[in-house]
Structure 1
Amino acid sequence: MKKDLWIGGEYRKASSYIKLKNPYNLELLAEIGVANQEDVLASINAAQQAKTIMADMPAFERAEILEKVVQFLKVDHEECARLIALEAAKPLKAARAEVDRTIMTYTFAAHEARRIHGETVPMDAAPGGQGRIAFTVREPLGVIAAITPFNFPMNLVAHKVGPAIAAGNSVVLKPASQTPLTAYKIAEYFHRAGLPAGALNVVTGSGSKIGDVLMKDDRIKMITFTGSPEVGRYIREHSGLKRVTLELGSNSAVIVDEGVQLNKVIPRIVNGAFAYQGQVCISIQRIFVHENIFEGFVEQFVSNAKKLKTGNPLEDDTDISAMITRGNVQRTKDWVDEAIHNGAELRLGGSAEEAVFQPTVLVNVPLKEKVSCEEVFAPVVHINSFCDFSEAIDLVNDSKYGLQAGIFTNDIHKALQAAKKLEVGGVMINEIPTFRVDQMPYGGVKMSGMGREGIKYAVEEMTELKLISFKTE
């Protein structure tokens, strides 16, 4: 099967193609078109031509298009889940959950399309403002470039495409090279739903080559990117005056205070650490546990982690499957071995079978080790102890990242202290940092990025505020 590029409302042949393989068993899935500079420029041209049509389209029509996409997703729910499982090696039950979330994301986008509004401005609040009426409106930016990662190939596309369409923009989408099939399927859904030709274009191939064209073209008014800090920094530094939203990952931490019921919180934390092989931006990587409950916590955590089933992502009971590439497996093994060599204690896992890295638990890890201070993006977690609660907050903050953090405590004063002191974009109290629902504001500080996703907040990023003032006397 060959997948051509989607430009101007139709498939367009590429000059070359690459093989797309299943990460689990390396089975050939498709041949994917590789966009060259001419193709990317053609996609920008198509989006530029469609931007006026989109800006003039009534809000209810944009909402109805999004609602039709939701219905297509509901009808093809299992097909979409299997497609995610095949191209991303995401366990089927997690892939089904992603389709559920994608449905909600586009549903929220449809809602937001109907309620984009401005406000009146009390001009006479300042001397000289009397005799005037003023109000604001929100207008679409124009052409938006969206660059998405492999780990949520359908829902993270929805978090960029959904609000962009809701706000009346046109889009050039560059999905991850490993997970383009779901992006093409979404493009087909939007086409069937009546989205004007050129309002959504999908180009696949080299991220650096496509990205460079998008960054240099002045017709692109915004770049929304989810990926590595290194690429995010490059985009920020080379995008000129374009608006930029960056979601760049984390090494998310959770604090477990004494007095919490371990049998209730540990299964939740295990899920937050190992879901989709730990390849989640807000996957739990660092766990800080009060010294009075440390050994009991570690024992129960390891016991729960041992119950996770590894294997084929298409099997209903699989919890953990292949990492996205064999190279990432080797990198993870090297980081874990290095931590053990430097004093960390291995309590579980630490090895791989083919592309499947076993759930791995380390304790007492030096915080300068890569498995702690870098983003491991693998089924690896470390557990360290703390004595004083303020120390725990300092340990969490001792990171170049700051996306989300979690805390489990029965003490409201500690919860409020954490809410104020943690240097992150989101504080989850009595919840894991991996928690996210798709309408909430989502984004980080420090090297975790800038700007916010979550449909309402993304719409604000993707629109321009205009003031209209009438002199009445």
Structure 2
Amino acid sequence: MSAELPHIPLLVPGIESSATSVTVSAPWDLTPIATVARADSATVEKALANAYALYRNRDAWLPMRERVQILTRAMGIMRERREKMATDAAREGGKPLADSLIEVDRAIDSVHICIDELRSRAGEVIPMCITESSKNRVAFTRPEPVGVVVAVSAFNHPLNLIAHQVAPAVATGCPVIVKPADKTALSCLSFVQILREAGLPPEWCQAVVTADRKDATAMVTDERVGFFSFIGSAKVGWTLRSQLAPGTRCALEHGGAAPVIVTEGADLDRAVPSLAKGGFYHAGQVCVSVQRVFTPKAMAREFATRLADAAKKMKVGDPTLADTEIGPLITPGEVDRVHQWVEEAKAAGAEVLCGGEKLTDTAYKPTVLLNPPADAKVSVQEIFGPVVCVYGYDDMDEAIDRANSLPFSFQAAVFGQDIDKLMRVSSRLDASAVMVNDHTAFRVDWMPFAGLKQSGHGVGGVPHSMHEMQIQKMTVIHSPEIKD
């Protein structure tokens, strides 16, 4: 059967790989979709050599006007293929079609943001002629590419995560090598092919699906890498960071266990639908998914019951269908893990208000737990599944302390109507961003997006990634004709 599947060839010019291909399957029904050529160690070396040779040859750098033209054409191609790209992403990644359409739109906008940044980004003039030693001088900076970018990405947003890593590299003039998640490689490879179709020379953006983790590590830690962009598990990301070559910059984006504080007097008609979306969107497989909701004890049961009622109405099913709201988890093993965590919390005293069981081998019912123990896995680790925990509190500051008690810090949220309470919670939560009367998973692609503590390093978001992928080279001109 696999011989009849579409095959995506190696996207590294000038070499053939001896590694066996990998099959990408749909997480909903485990049906094979396509096979993808994988890179062996020689392929990885060739990709690095291609990219580094471009970076070292300044005469070969792509002028900004050409980069703008390429990205503009790429946007046009993506708009023409919007529905197909969304369906393909939904099928390989499991995110429902309605949300995958939004993801494609975001990816297109991410490319647009790169173009806007190029039109507006410039260096600065450094003051001179202020002291005797600085007289007769003028100084200014201009942005230059930092070097070869190696990007390693996660499965959960198979197109837009890639756009966030690759488009800024192309925009800033950095040769880029991207390694997508094996399970969702197709959207990445499609994006790379679109860039090439839009006129980007192949060596400027290469994609590798490695056959061996050692090869991936060797690529990331190579001394020719100028910038490493990683989206994925904390364990892998922090380990790779510790092995980077001296001088390699990096940005790491991991997960968390996003907290929400619901204050007394909050509008539950507004809060419940928002938190249901933020908790069960993409079956909870989002790094800032709503996970821990702290409410006043007197309203905890009412809130949790209303959240459970909302969850029960959400349709779980085939992600390629237009009316599906929650799709599968990425693998059956993840379904088993989530169920085990829920069962452990239940045995320790958590009350299961809805869900708590497998729908199929690949999908889990959206689950609301009331007052799981503080030391349960669902309370202290990232669930990355369709499970939301609700806890009652007596004192708001105590709830803030509980929200801040984990070694993760990413986005958080607070709901209420008392501006003083909202500001108190917002200013005291450990978070890089606090959403007021909105769920923790809100994001637009031009805003900064940063994990703190164990949740990440550096700042993401398209403009911020572009900044990280550039250096500001200063030029100082000395001339007696410069008087002031």
TM-score by length of 2: 0.94
1:16 counterpart residue number: 20
| The 10-residue stretch of structure 1 (70-79 or 40-49) with the greater mean CA deviation from structure 2 | 40-49
Question: Hey, what's the Cα distance between the residues in 1 that align with 2:305 and 2:339?
Answer: 23
SS of residue matched to 1:7: coil
Distance in 2 (CA, whole Å) between partners of 1:148 and 1:275 is: 20
Secondary structure, counterpart of 2:165 in structure 1: helix
Q: Equivalent residue of 1:5, what SS?
A: coil
CA–CA distance in structure 2, aligned partners of residues 55 and 397 of structure 1? 49
The answer to whether the aligner puts 1:380 opposite 2:387 as a matched pair is: yes
Bigger mean CA deviation after superposition, 115-124 or 306-315: 115-124
> Residue 30 of structure 2 corresponds to which residue in structure 1?
26
Select which of 275, 299, 305 maps to 1:299.
305
Q: Distance in 1 between matches of 2:11 and 2:417?
A: 53
Q: Write the distance in 1 (CA, Å) between the matches of 2:400 and 2:259.
A: 10
Match in the other structure for 2:399: 392
Please provide the CA RMSD for this pair: 1.7
Aligned mates of 1:167, 1:76 — CA distance in 2: 25
Following the alignment from structure 1 to structure 2, what is the Cα–Cα distance between the partners of residues 208 and 342?
38
- Counterpart position of 1:236: 241
Q: Secondary structure at the match of 2:260?
A: strand
Q: How many residues align?
A: 472
CA drift at 1:171: 0.4
Does the CA contact (< 8 Å) of 2:17 and 2:42 recur in 1? no
2:197 is equivalent to residue 192 of structure 1 = yes
Unaligned runs of 5+ in 2: 1-5
| Matched letter for residue 454 of structure 1 | G
Q: Secondary structure at the match of 2:133?
A: coil
Report the Cα distance in structure 2 between the residues aligned to 1:144 and 1:163, rounded to whole angstroms: 10
Counterpart selection for 2:41 from 37, 40, 52:
37
Structure-2 residue corresponding to 1:468: 475
> 1:50, 1:196 within 8 Å by CA — same for their partners in 2?
no
The amino acid across from 1:271 in the alignment is K
Query: Partners in 1 of 2:399 and 2:72 — Cα distance?
Result: 45
The SS at the match of 1:438 is coil
In structure 1, give the amino acid aligned to 2:417. N
Cα deviation code 1:160-185 (max 9, x no counterpart):
01111111101000000001111111
2:269 is matched with: 263
Say which SS state the counterpart of residue 120 (structure 2) adopts: coil
Cα distance, 1:309–1:200 mapped onto 2, change above 3 Å: same
Distance 2:210 2:326 in 1: 28
Contact 1:113 1:166 in 2 (8 A): yes
> For 1:424-463, what per-residue CA distance to the aligned partner results, in whole angstroms no more than 9, with x for missing partners?
1111122111000000000111000111111111111101
Distance change (3 Å), C-alpha of 1:118 and 1:55: farther
Pair 1:427–1:125, CA change in 2 (3 A): farther
Q: What is the CA-CA distance between 1:134 and the residue it aligns to? A: 1.0
Residues 287, 381 of structure 1: 8 Å contact kept: yes
- Which residue of 1 is the match for residue 423 of structure 2? 416
Aligned partners of 2:400, 2:256: CA distance in 1, in Å?
A: 16
Deviations along 1:41-95, whole A, 9 cap, x unmatched? Answer: 1111222233346973222221221111111111001100111111112211111
Q: Counterpart of 2:120? A: 115
C-alpha change, 1:432 and 1:207, in structure 2 (3 Å) is farther
Worse-matched range after superposition: 353-362 or 122-131:
122-131
Larger deviation, residues 113-122 vs 44-53 = 44-53
Q: State the SS of the aligned residue for 2:203.
A: coil
TM-score by length of 1: 0.96
* CA distance, structure 1, for counterparts of residue 59 and residue 346 of structure 2: 55
Shift, 1:192, TM fit: 0.9
Unaligned runs of 5+ in 1: none
Alignment partners' CA distance in 1, 2:253 and 2:132: 43
Equivalent position SS for 1:376:
coil
The aligned residue for residue 368 of structure 1 is 375
Answer whether contact 1:84 1:90 (CA < 8 A) is retained.
Answer: yes
Alignment of 1:216-231 (within 5 A): 216-231=221-236
Partner of 1:80: 85
The aligned counterpart of 2:456 is: 449
| In structure 1, distance between residues paired with 2:92 and 2:396 | 43
User: Aligned letter for 1:210?
Assistant: D
CA distance in 2, matches of 1:54, 1:253: 50
CA distance in 1, matches of 2:188, 2:15: 13
User: Counterparts of 1:22-421 in structure 2 under 5 Å?
Assistant: 22-51=26-55, 52=57, 56-125=61-130, 128-206=133-211, 208-241=213-246, 242-352=248-358, 353-421=360-428
Percent identity at matched positions? Answer: 34
Paired amino acid for 2:28: Y
SS in 1 for 2:238: helix
Instruction: Please tell me the residue identity of whatever aligns with 1:305.
Output: A
